[in-house]
Amino acid sequence: MTRRTTALTTVAAVIAAVAVSVLSADTASTAARPETGAAQTPAEAEADVAPPAGTSPLSRTRGLFTDPQLPAARWVAAHPEDKRAATVRAAIGSQPMAHWFTGTSDADVGAAVANYTRSAEAAGQLPVLVAYNLPGRDACGAESAGGASDPANYQKWVSAFATAIGVRPALVILEPDALGDFSCMSKAQIATRLRLLNTATRMLAEKAPNTWTYIDAGHADWISPATMAKRLLSAGVARARGFAVNVSNYIGTTESRRYAERIEAALHRPAAYVIDTSRNGNGGNGQWCNPRGRKLGRHSTANPAALELWIANPGNSDGQCGIAPTIRAGVFSPALAQRLIAGK
């Protein structure tokens, strides 16, 4: 997952059932950017949108799930004699973080999601899942380009994803980059993307009633809060728990929280939000792809008043760039992990 250089926690509140605004031309912080899309009319929204059902996934679990199959833990298990293994295990491999489902890493997403959430349920812990498979994803950055082959396949994929969670408690981060990439997309592509995000939020609300879904809302150096609020409304945020900021980026928690609160104010309704703190211990430096000098951030917490999560997996490369020019996006590097641990 990558983030752009040019643009590139939580309040426990229930999203009220309200009409979704029609997406119109709006102005970003530096330039006017026309929007188009498949936002619902107020009448359609009133009939279709309801607050998420079910009980709080936090109240049904004891802390966040630590998955032994995530990249850092797998590397440690495969390299027990490596002198870096103990440090990587303690600082990263033993920490709860999100599991990314991308379409390519899980040929049968239903089985993969079911196995993951069952493992978390057996441990009495809360899993965090990232759904990252929209057609044409990462339209601007390209390091993590890919996704479903077409809208029909995405609809099947996200339906299987939501169905596999079922009634088990979970947190879902929905489609990183999806609402930040519009400058690299045509009007038709934007309209399709908004329609698919509405489909995803609807399916998760209906098929996974004990899941809190957060639509990705970019980061503080990318899209203006007012613009992002309009895009979130058009993507179906009224059916979700709220939105996520700083996913796979490095911007500090204070700045990210300020950005999230400005988005919430622009939504004109209560909204929960989460911040990705996985790699923001030293804040950002304006670069998004394996920048030098970054550091691990505060550990994930299941405190409903401060949902700060490790959504990115520390040590995974952002792409063949920065201080890891030969390591593909999503591949774990012990060298990158060590740099994040030391802040170098």
For 179-226, how does the pLDDT look when each residue is reduced to its tens digit (9 = 90+)?
999 999 999 999 999 999 999 999 999 999 999 999 999 999 999 999
177 is catalytic: yes
Domains of the chain: 26-342 (3.20.20.40)
Looking at per-residue confidence, does 343 or 35 come out higher?
343
Which two structure tokens, joined as six digits, stand for 163?
């169905």
Q: What is the pTM of this model?
A: 0.85
Which two structure tokens, joined as six digits, stand for 3?
């983030």
Please write down the HEC assignment for all residues of 44-108.
HHHHHCCCCCCCCCCCCCCCECCCCCCHHHHHHHHCCCCCCHHHHHHHHHCCCCCEEECCCCCCC
Residue appearing with tokens 């917490």: 301
- Considering 138, 177, 181, 221, which one is annotated as catalytic? 177
Mean pLDDT of 258-264: 97
CA 65 – CA 138 distance, rounded (Å): 27
CA 299 – CA 309 distance, rounded (Å): 7
Please write down the HEC assignment for all residues of the chain.
CCCCCCCCCCCCCCCCCCCCCCCCCEECCCCEECCCCCCCCHHHHHHHCCCCCCCCCCCCCCCECCCCCCHHHHHHHHCCCCCCHHHHHHHHHCCCCCEEECCCCCCCHHHHHHHHHHHHHHHCCECEEEECCCCCECCCCCCCCECCCCHHHHHHHHHHHHHHHCCCCEEEEECCCCCCCHHHCCHHHHHHHHHHHHHHHHHHHHHCCCEEEEEECCCCCCCCHHHHHHHHHHHCHHHCCEEEECCCCCCCHHHHHHHHHHHHHHHCCCCEEEEECCCECCCCCCCCCCCCCCECCCCCCCCCCCCEECCCCCCECCCCECCECCCCCCCECHHHHHHHHHCC
Residue 27, pLDDT > 50, answer no
Residue 332, pLDDT > 90, answer yes
pLDDT at residue 54, as a whole number? 67
Half-sphere exposure in the Cβ direction for 162 (13 Å, CA)? 21
Taking only Cα atoms into account, the Rg of the chain, rounded to an integer number of angstroms, comes to: 19
Residue 122, pLDDT > 80, answer yes
Q: What are the φ/ψ torsions at residue 26 (nearest 5 degrees)? A: -140, 175
Mean pLDDT of 117-135: 97
**Mean pLDDT, the chain, integer:** 86
Other CB atoms within 10 A of residue 90 CB: 12
